[in-house]
Amino acid sequence: MKHPISYLYNTVFIPKKSLQICIVGGGFGGLFTALYLSNYTRLIKSLRLRIILIDQKEYFLFTPLLYELLTQEVESCEITPTFENLFANTAVEFCHDTVEVVDLDQRQIKLRSHKQITYDHLVLAVGQQTRLDAIFGVTDYAYAFRSLADAERLMQKLESLETDSEKYIQVAVVGAGGNGVELACKLANRLQNRGQVYLIDRRQKILRDFSFACQKAAHRALIACGVKLDLGTQIKNITANQITLSKNQQTYTLAVDLIIWTIGTQNWEWLDNLNCQQNPQKKLLVRPTLQLLDYPEVFAVGDIAAILHPDKQKVPATAQAALQQARTAASNLRASLTGKPLKVFCYHHLGEMMTLGINAGIVFCCGICLEGAIAYTIRRWACVLRLPTFSHRLRVCRHLFNSALRKLWVI
Ligand SMILES: Cc1cc2nc3c(=O)[nH]c(=O)nc-3n(C[C@H](O)[C@H](O)[C@H](O)COP(=O)(O)OP(=O)(O)OC[C@H]3O[C@@H](n4cnc5c(N)ncnc54)[C@H](O)[C@@H]3O)c2cc1C
């Protein structure tokens, strides 16, 4: 029999108590799932939904513009809007805490503050961390570049090296993926003739997951910035001021002042105890609808999810993919709450954009490749448009406009 109240509310059943959706992690996957969900105002009211987002940080980090901090092309407030501001005037509640345990069977989350939260639906979106234990010395001496804290630590180190005006600063960036290439160009631009940046990778090719056009353009940009490429080179070990390398069966050392490690990711330790199926890389296995295999009320999105797609579609660990998953997760949560069929997630590759130094970049989309200042400007504005909320976008636009005016004033 239909619930009597459902007739009053156009077939939506009103539960006695409110339903709780918890989202763990406020990065690209988690934050955008929350924002998409908050648009379903009728559903939130009729089902008395509580949407709670838990994050260990108080702000969202827009990682694609993290490199620009090193060259002062952006200020940290532009890329780290607080959750408090982002969720103002929305139905999303923010809980500033660190999740330590999730009991999938009891539907319970245990927080570092010893609080416990129960949920009806859960979205796991905690991303991954840089793996620093692959080679001897990395944990002790290398710098990671993934969080705002990493960027600030790196800037402090650079500033302390730069105080000695006589010093020639040698920097090794390990890993020639997107992260390593963008970082190497920015660092080379920052140091100019005050130092040398080396980009080291065991493969012969840079940017192996990118298009050929991007690889070629990035190669040209690295050379133009003065970065020395050390490809096909194995790293043996790392000490405070030295990196031991091996190439063509010859071992040699490189004296360096700073080593930045950009390769390898791993899960947060607490996810190892999660009672669900994981792939060999420890990513959480999800159905094409983004639900955990044995827990349909739990969704996983972003870098931690491995989708068991029937056509084996490869989904990259990028912000672009996490954003698309967030849209599907929100829509599927609504579908499961209203008894409608769930959608299958399908990744659409929209193109590639990179920053390759100050005022230089590459945009590759629909077979068209743009380079240099024009690509840099397009990327910058694409990033502004992709910032999470309209009010934050407006704030950043105002900031960009004011700094452009200040520059004109100086000229
Ligand atoms: C420097 C850099 C540049 C990048 N540039 C690009 C780019 O140009 N384009 C692109 O597509 N991708 C880019 N990426 C990749 C992109 O940032 C990631 O793929 C994307 O952020 C993944 O989203 P996510 O939601 O899975 O995780 P994240 O965005 O990493 O978010 C995870 C969130 O979970 C929180 N969290 C973790 N553990 C806990 C816990 N125990 N309790 C509470 N909260 C927790 C974290 O604080 C964080 O806010 C870049 C990455 C980096 C590091």
Q: How far apart are CA 80 and CA 148, in angstroms?
A: 8
Buried b (16+ CB within 10 A) or exposed e, 131-154: ebeebebbeebbbbbbbbeebeeb
Residue type present at position 13 = F
**R_g over Cα of the chain:** 23
Q: Is residue 157 part of a domain?
A: yes
Alpha carbon of 127 to ligand 1 centroid (Å)? 5
Q: Are residues 174 and 185 in the same domain?
A: yes
Closest listed residue to residue 52, CA positions, set 127, 125, 126, 122: 122
One domain for residues 283 and 237: no
* Residues 158, 239 within the same domain: yes
- What's the CA gap between 157 and 215, in Å, rounded? 30
- Does residue 69 lie within any of the structural domains? no
Q: Could you say which of 248, 264, 280 is where a domain stops?
A: 264
Mutate to test the pocket of ligand 1, among 53, 318, 356 (most ligand atoms within 8 A of CB): 318
- The confidence score (pLDDT) of residue 403 equals 75
Residue 346 tokens, joined: 């399908």
**Stated pTM of the model:** 0.92
pLDDT on residue 14: 46
**Domain boundaries, position 210:** 132-264
pLDDT at 1: 38
Give residue 411's pLDDT.
57
Alpha carbon nearest to ligand 1 atom 7, residue: 64
> Would you say 284 and 271 are in contact if contact means Cβ atoms under 8 Å apart?
yes
136 with 259, same domain: the answer is yes
Pair (260, 273) in one structural domain:
no
Confidence at residue 310, expressed as pLDDT on a 0 to 100 scale: 78
Low-confidence ranges of the chain (pLDDT < 50): 1-14
Task: Tell me if 274 CB under 6 Å of ligand 1.
Answer: no
User: Which of 314, 338, 362 delimits the end of a domain?
Assistant: 338
Residue pair 263/173 in contact (Cβ under 8 Å)? The answer is no
Spatial CA neighbour of 316 closest among 149, 111, 177: 177
158 and 184 together in one domain = yes
Structure tokens at 57: 């940080």
Q: Locate 344 and state its tokens.
A: 């299958």
Q: Are residues 282 and 159 in the same domain?
A: no
**Residues 142 and 290 placed together within one structural domain of the fold:** no
Ligand 1, atom 38: closest residue by C-alpha: 126
| Same structural domain, 369 and 300 | no
| Residue 164 is assigned to a structural domain of this protein | yes
With a 6 Å cutoff on the Cβ, whether 361 touches ligand 1 is no
CATH number at residue 168: 3.50.50.60
C-alpha dihedral (20, 24, 25, 31), degrees to nearest 10: -20
Tell me what pLDDT residue 195 has: 96
Q: How far is residue 287's CA from residue 345's CA, in Å, rounded to a whole number?
A: 9
Each residue's pLDDT tens digit, 292-351: 999 999 999 999 999 998 777 889 999 999 999 999 999 999 999 999 999 999 999 999
Regarding the beta carbon of 55 and ligand 1, being less than 6 Å apart is answered: yes
Q: Are residues 276 and 192 in the same domain?
A: no
Pairing of strands 352-355, 242-247: unpaired
Residue 173 lies in a domain: yes
